[in-house]
Amino acid sequence: MARARTHRRLEQPREQVLSATLAMVAERGLAGVTMARLAERLGTSGGHLLYYFGTRDGLLLETLRWSEERYAEERAPVMALEAPAGPDPVLAFAGVYLPVDRGDARWLLWLELWARAPYDADLAAAQRELDEAWHADLVRLLRAHLPALADPEGVSERLRAMWDGFAIAVINGGGPAQRARALEHTRALLG
Domains and CATH numbers, the chain: 13-190 (1.10.357.10)
* Cα 46 from chain centroid (whole Å): 25
* Reported confidence tier of residue 72, pLDDT bands at 50, 70, 90: very high
- Half-sphere exposure (Cβ direction) of 31: Cα atoms closer than 13 Å: 1
**Residue 80 predicted with pLDDT over 80:** yes
Stronger pLDDT, 153 or 52, i.e. the higher one: 153
Task: Check: pTM over 0.95? Answer yes or no.
Answer: no
pLDDT, mean over the chain: 90
